[in-house]
Amino acid sequence: MQKFAQVDETWTLFLDRDGVINERIFGGYILDYSDFHFKEAVLEQACTLFAKFARVIVVTNQQCVAKGLISIKELEELHQQMKEDFERSGAKIAAVFAAIERKGEEPFMRKPHRKMADLAKEQFPEIDFSKSIMVGDTDGDIEFGKNLGMKTVLIESEEKTSTKPDLVLTRLVDLIEWI
């Protein structure tokens, strides 16, 4: 099997949240950590996968904040709990960036816009987008990665997509076999 990318400790892994890390609620939102359920094998295999990268960054569209369904503080607490669960399994998330505006509204942080990637690069100047992989389950995720020159991986779901990724997988943890 030919490798998808020759990843080493200089690479960055960008992950969408809902549908990649945790089960996505189609037509709804994760508003409480009790509704946050990790996808199959993600916690168990994260240590192995994440160790292949210099850093792992989560970039997530969360318009539920702009809709008033959850506060920014509650969203940050949810992300902190997620990070702590990863740390207990031996894996580390370097940062989480959330676009909290509604779709089509300013400040245009939502994927496929590049703003969350630019914020990540400000925090980690050594990031090289050409040595990065974006994993997501929507066209916006894949377009985000492609717009920045990243390798792109689509995790198959109920979501209908039309943007062609570099690789299609059924689970995040299957990426281990391709790098």
**CA separation for the pair 16, 22 (Å, rounded):** 9
CB 45 within 8 A of CB 6: no
Residue 4 is predicted with a pLDDT of 86
Residue 165 is predicted with a pLDDT of 97
User: Phi, psi at residue 35, to the nearest 5°?
Assistant: -95, 0
| 29 closest CA partner among 74, 83, 86, 80 | 74
Domains along the chain with CATH numbers: 12-178 (3.40.50.1000)
Q: Say which residue the tokens 């690789």 belong to.
A: 167
**What does the pLDDT profile of the chain (179 residues) look like in tens digits?**
678 889 999 999 999 999 999 999 999 999 999 999 999 999 999 999 999 999 999 999 999 999 999 999 999 999 999 999 999 999 999 999 999 999 998 889 999 999 999 999 999 999 999 999 999 999 999 999 999 999 999 999 999 999 999 999 999 999 999 99
Residue 1 is predicted with a pLDDT of 61
| Strand ranges for the chain from DSSP E | 12-15, 55-61, 95-99, 132-136, 151-155, 167-169
